[in-house]
């Protein structure tokens, strides 16, 4: 099983770096900022019998997960219909198809079922640019990411992976609320993974996640020992000491990484190169 979609800031590559800090056992798994769910994939494979709580304030993303869990055959029927129209086209026609569909998703969705809306968004995300989530005024405040390379050969999505997610999500509570409300559900013997929007990145996610809210996340991590939960938090280190000043007795490690999607450096000639960066992992002090 792998994440359903590419997501800028997703943790697929980072999990190998986290190995020594991941828990050996847990009965509950809580992820308040699930995004593409790379850590959930790890947690489910580690203990499929656990009780899972997945949340994201992005309701559209959570509706994709709900459709995969509760209405997977209709979800894939819609995807297959779109794929059959899209795949025979040449690249210029695919681009026209993408933007017409994005426009319909922006303005015609009220006439759709929730499953049709979720499948349409999923198709757009699979053919959009590099896992970027962007909302625009000209797309009615809804998904507005530009098209990607549009070079799919024989399929747009992986049916087998969708079915694996369908099975995995059966034991999951899927929420779309404030992360604070989700954290109030944390129980003893829980593994909690906190992956809030990176500092300074809120415009990419369509939410205002400023340092005051970042501090709420760190405060929860600082209280995790009393809860009897094991908590990890990831974020980007911008070099101003923000997390060092607030880590308390928690352990903080840093990783040098290269961003290949989303956070790339733009040159004067309009080209891009991968951007070097540093990410942090804060490990809650455990009993």
Domain boundaries, the chain: 15-57+177-283, 71-161
Query: Is 71-161 in the same CATH topology as 15-57+177-283?
Result: no
pLDDT at 32: 96
Question: Positive or negative, the Cα torsion across 9, 10, 14, 20?
Answer: positive
> What is the C-alpha to C-alpha distance for residues 59 and 261, in angstroms, rounded to an integer?
23
pLDDT at 56: 95
What is the CB neighbour count within 10 angstroms for residue 206? 18
Return the half-sphere exposure (C-beta side, CA atoms, 13 A cut-off) of residue 105: 27
pLDDT at 96: 98
Q: Could you give the 3-state DSSP secondary structure of residue 259?
A: strand
pLDDT at 205: 47
- Exposed / middle / buried, residue 49 (Cβ in 10 Å: 0-12, 13-18, 19+): exposed
Take residue 287 and report the two structure tokens written for it: 């009993």
pLDDT at 286: 60
What is the CB neighbour count within 10 angstroms for residue 241? 9
pLDDT at 219: 86
- All residues at 6 or more sequence positions from 258 whose CB lies less than 8 Å from its CB, including other chains: 274, 275, 276, 277
Q: Which residues of the chain have pLDDT under 50?
A: 202-207, 262-263
pLDDT at 157: 97
pTM for the model stands at: 0.89
CA distances, 87 to each of 101, 152, 279 (Å) = 14, 7, 38
The CATH number of domain 71-161, selected from 3.40.430.10, 1.10.1020.10, 3.30.420.10, 1.20.1250.20: 1.10.1020.10
Would residue 51 be called left, alpha or beta, if left means φ above 0 and alpha means ψ between -120 and 50 degrees? Answer: beta
Q: Which fold has domain 15-57+177-283?
A: Rossmann fold (3.40.50)
> What is the C-alpha to C-alpha distance for residues 220 and 184, in angstroms, rounded to an integer?
10
Question: Positive or negative, the Cα torsion across 263, 268, 269, 274?
Answer: negative
> What is the C-alpha to C-alpha distance for residues 182 and 42, in angstroms, rounded to an integer?
20
pLDDT at 199: 79
């Amino acid at each position: 099983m792998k994440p359903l979609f590419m997501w800028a800031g997703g943790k697929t590559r980072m999990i190998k770096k986290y190995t020594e800090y991941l828990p050996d056992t847990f009965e509950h798994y809580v992820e308040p900022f699930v995004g593409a769910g790379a850590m959930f994939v790890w947690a489910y494979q580690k203990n499929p019998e656990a009780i899972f709580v997945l949340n994201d304030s992005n309701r559209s993303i959570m509706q994709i997960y709900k459709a995969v869990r509760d209405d997977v055959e209709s979800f894939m029927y819609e995807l297959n219909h779109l794929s059959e129209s899209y795949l025979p086209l040449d690249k210029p026609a695919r681009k026209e198809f993408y933007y017409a569909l994005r426009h319909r998703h922006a303005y015609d969705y009220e006439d759709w079922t929730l499953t049709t809306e979720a499948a349409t968004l999923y198709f757009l995300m699979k053919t959009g640019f590099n896992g970027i989530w962007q909302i625009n005024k000209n797309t009615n405040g809804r998904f507005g990411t530009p098209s990607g390379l549009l070079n799919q050969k024989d399929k747009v999505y992986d049916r087998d992976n969708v079915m694996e997610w369908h099975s995995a999500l059966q034991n999951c509570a899927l929420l779309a609320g404030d992360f604070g409300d989700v954290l109030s559900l944390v129980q003893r013997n829980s593994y909690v993974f906190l992956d809030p929007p990176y500092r300074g990145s809120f415009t990419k996610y369509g939410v205002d996640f400023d340092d005051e809210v970042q501090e709420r996340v760190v405060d929860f991590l600082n209280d995790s020992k009393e809860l009897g939960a094991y908590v990890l938090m990831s974020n980007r280190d911008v070099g101003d000491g923000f997390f060092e000043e607030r880590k308390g007795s928690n352990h903080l490690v840093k990783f040098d990484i290269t961003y290949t999607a989303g956070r790339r450096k733009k040159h004067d000639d309009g080209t891009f190169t991968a951007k070097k960066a540093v990410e942090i992992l804060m490990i809650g002090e455990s009993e």
